[in-house]
């Protein structure tokens, strides 16, 4: 009976179902609990030979992760808070390896569940949340004589996580609609996501999404011009009292005014950037140790406390030293390299393109934030990275099979001639 049940269960189906639970519930604001479920699911999957083999095939990633983690552990052992810092260094290994590997369980040569099911479900959830945010905004516009300066976001996600969700799902959604040859649907979906980020009031997220749109529309000049014209009109309404549209003034001001642009990189950001750079100059080789930035920041910013450097490059260097920064950026560079090498050759190439564009946009957002250091947000980075790696290996193995077939055919032809 057990053997019959085991034969009916397709390979990687259990992992795909677990991921199907984790991703939607993460978007609905339960990321903290889903991270625990993800770790438990990963440990369970290690008991199966096929999943272990799939993880070990990615030797380059494992080597880079080992170098990165070893460097961070050494710098942590030399820091002021050795125990906590060392444990946080080991956490980095888990934080990157588990989500990347788990996505690959549902996106490989034998299973493409991630692309076929999880991507569209994520898009639908994002669409529902956007409608909820816009509905709240329109209700405020209609029922109030003046529109108060208010940030709108999904209740369970909050401002920053709402923006990150829309960046991820914006790229996925546009690629998904393109794959179905519905370009205008994809464009309108992008506009909705962009409007949702504007309502959330996250300027860093808005700039990152603008970069995402440029990447996605770089060959579609018609839609790119339409997008620029739409926001040009919106900018005009931020400078004039145009009747009903003046009710939107506070929303538009939060994006276009000089005050908003100064808030994007505000005095706090500049202060913490300077503190990080001074910290780097004093500890350039080994860093201050993982999770110790906040302890040292008081020495450099008039006794003020900052948890992170608000820039992932400065954070890598300040906490983990020169080699920690190089190895950390090497992992990110590996993901981008795999995306550039594979997305055009994948059969769902537009979805692959959207995944990579969203990943780059998230990195842009992290030039002024540090979401990569928060477990709730960080999994989203590495889910995308895992999807890119999965696509890369599908393409690579497909090319290897094609090469082997050609070599076999060539050998057979030679034997026939002989």
Residue 261 has pLDDT above 60, yes or no: no
Mean pLDDT score, 275-284? 90
Does residue 297 carry a pLDDT above 90? no
Q: What is residue 185's predicted lDDT score, i.e. its pLDDT? A: 94
CA dist 164 and 178 (Å) reads: 22
- Mean of pLDDT values over 193-215: 84
CB atoms near residue 349 (< 10 Å): 17
Average pLDDT over every residue of 392-404: 76
- As a whole number of angstroms, the distance between CA 198 and CA 248 comes to 11
pLDDT at 175 > cutoff 70? yes
Tell me: pLDDT of 6 over 50: no
Taking residue 298's Cβ as centre, other Cβ atoms within 10 Å add up to 13
List Cβ neighbours of 186 (8 Å cut-off, separation of 6 or more): 173, 174, 175, 176, 177, 178
pLDDT at residue 232 tops 80: no
Domain ranges of the chain: 9-400
Q: What is the mean pLDDT of residues 237-248?
A: 50
Better-predicted residue by pLDDT, 250 or 56? 56
Q: What is the pLDDT of residue 332?
A: 94
Would the pLDDT of 61 be above 50? yes
In degrees rounded to 5, what are phi and psi of residue 111? Answer: -155, 125
pLDDT category at 59 given cuts 50, 70, 90 is very high
Higher pLDDT, 204 or 263: 204
Judge whether 395 and 108 are in contact, CB under 8 Å: no
The predicted model gives 167-185 an average pLDDT of 93
DSSP, res 74: H
The yes-or-no verdict on residue 266 having pLDDT over 70 is: no
Lowest mean pLDDT among 46-50, 202-206, 207-211, 308-312: 202-206
**Structure confidence by residue, pLDDT tens digits, 68-95:** 999 999 988 988 778 888 888 888 888 8
pLDDT score of 123? 92
Mean pLDDT value across the chain: 81
The pLDDT value recorded for residue 371 is 75
**Phi, psi (degrees; rounded to nearest 5) at 202:** -100, 100
Structure tokens at 166: 């829309």
pLDDT for res 243: 44
Least-confidence region, from 10-19, 69-78, 98-107 = 10-19
Task: Pick the more confident residue, 100 or 156.
Answer: 100
Output 141 or 129, whichever has higher pLDDT: 129
Q: Is the pLDDT of residue 262 over 80?
A: no
pLDDT, tens digit, for every residue of 300-358? 877 666 778 888 899 999 999 999 999 999 999 999 999 999 999 999 999 999 999 99
Please determine, for residue 5, whether its predicted confidence score (pLDDT) is greater than 60: no
pLDDT confidence of residue 200: 78
Instruction: Work out the pLDDT band at 363, boundaries 50, 70, 90.
Output: very high
**Is residue 166 over pLDDT 80?**
yes
Q: What pLDDT is recorded for position 341?
A: 94
Token pair 């170098």 is found at: 67
1 pLDDT band, cuts 50/70/90, is very low
241-255, 262-276, 338-352: lowest mean pLDDT where?
A: 241-255
- pLDDT: which is higher, 389 or 302: 389
> How many C-beta atoms lie closer than 10 Å to residue 110's C-beta?
11
Averaged pLDDT for residues 100-114? 90
Model confidence at 144: pLDDT above 80: no
Tokens of 310: 């608000």
Rounded CA gap, 71 and 373, in Å? 17
Distance of alpha carbon 98 from alpha carbon 19, whole angstroms: 12
pLDDT value at 265 more than 90: no
- What lies within 8 Å, CB to CB, of 402 at 6+ separation is none
The conformation of residue 47, written as its DSSP 8-state character, comes to T
Of all residues in the chain, what percent are helix, strand and coil, respectively (each to 5)?
80, 0, 20
The answer to whether the beta carbons of residues 30 and 156 sit under 8 Å apart is yes
CA–CA distance, 231 with 403 (Å, rounded to integer): 49
- Residue 144 or residue 286, greater confidence: 286
Instruction: Retrieve residue 1's tokens.
Output: 């009976």
User: Is the model's pLDDT at 216 over the cut of 60?
Assistant: yes
Q: Is 81 in contact with 367 (CB distance < 8 Å)?
A: no
Mean pLDDT of the 413-417 span: 58
Give the list of residues 6+ apart from residue 143 with CB closer than 8 angstroms, or none.
none
Which candidate, 250, 214, 255, places its Cα nearest to that of 232? 255
């Amino acid at each position: 009976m057990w053997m019959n049940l085991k034969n009916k269960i397709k390979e990687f189906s259990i992992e795909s179902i677990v991921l199907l639970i984790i991703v939607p519930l993460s978007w609905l604001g339960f990321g903290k609990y889903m991270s625990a479920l993800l770790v438990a699911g990963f440990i369970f999957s290690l008991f199966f030979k096929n999943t272990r083999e799939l993880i070990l095939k990615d030797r380059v990633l494992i080597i880079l992760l080992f170098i990165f983690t070893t460097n961070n552990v050494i710098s942590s052992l030399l820091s002021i808070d050795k125990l906590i810092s060392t444990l946080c260094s080991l956490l980095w290994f888990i934080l990157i390896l588990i989500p990347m590997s788990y996505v690959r369980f549902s996106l490989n040569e034998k299973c493409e569940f991630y692309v076929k099911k999880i991507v569209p479900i994520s898009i639908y959830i994002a669409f529902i949340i956007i409608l909820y945010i816009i509905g709240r905004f329109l209700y405020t516009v209609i029922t109030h004589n003046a529109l108060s300066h208010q940030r709108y976001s999904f209740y369970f996600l909050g401002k920053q996580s709402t923006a990150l969700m829309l960046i991820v799902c914006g790229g996925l959604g546009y690629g998904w609609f393109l794959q179905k040859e519905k370009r205008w649907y994809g464009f309108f979906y992008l506009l909705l996501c962009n409007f949702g980020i504007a309502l959330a009031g996250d300027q860093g997220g808005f700039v990152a999404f603008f970069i995402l749109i440029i990447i996605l529309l770089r060959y579609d000049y018609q839609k790119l011009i339409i997008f620029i014209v739409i926001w040009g009109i919106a900018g005009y309404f931020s400078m004039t009292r145009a009747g009903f549209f003046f009710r939107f003034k506070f929303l538009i001001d939060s994006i276009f005014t000089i005050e908003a642009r100064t808030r994007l990189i505000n005095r706090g950001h500049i202060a913490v950037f300077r503190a990080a750079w001074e910290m780097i100059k004093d500890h350039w080789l080994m860093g201050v140790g993982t999770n110790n930035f906040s302890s040292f920041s008081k020495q450099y910013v008039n006794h003020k406390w900052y948890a992170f450097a608000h820039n992932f490059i400065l954070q890598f260097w300040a906490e983990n030293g020169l080699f920690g920064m190089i190895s950390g950026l090497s992992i990110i560079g590996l993901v981008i390299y795999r995306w550039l090498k594979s997305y055009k050759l994948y059969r769902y190439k537009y979805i692959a393109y959207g995944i990579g564009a969203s990943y780059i946009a998230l990195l842009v957002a992290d030039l002024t934030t540090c979401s990569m250091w928060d477990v709730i947000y960080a999994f989203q980075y590495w889910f995308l990275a895992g999807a890119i790696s999965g696509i890369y290996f599908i393409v690579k193995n497909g090319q290897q099979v094609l090469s082997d077939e050609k070599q076999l055919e060539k050998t057979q032809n030679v034997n026939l001639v002989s």
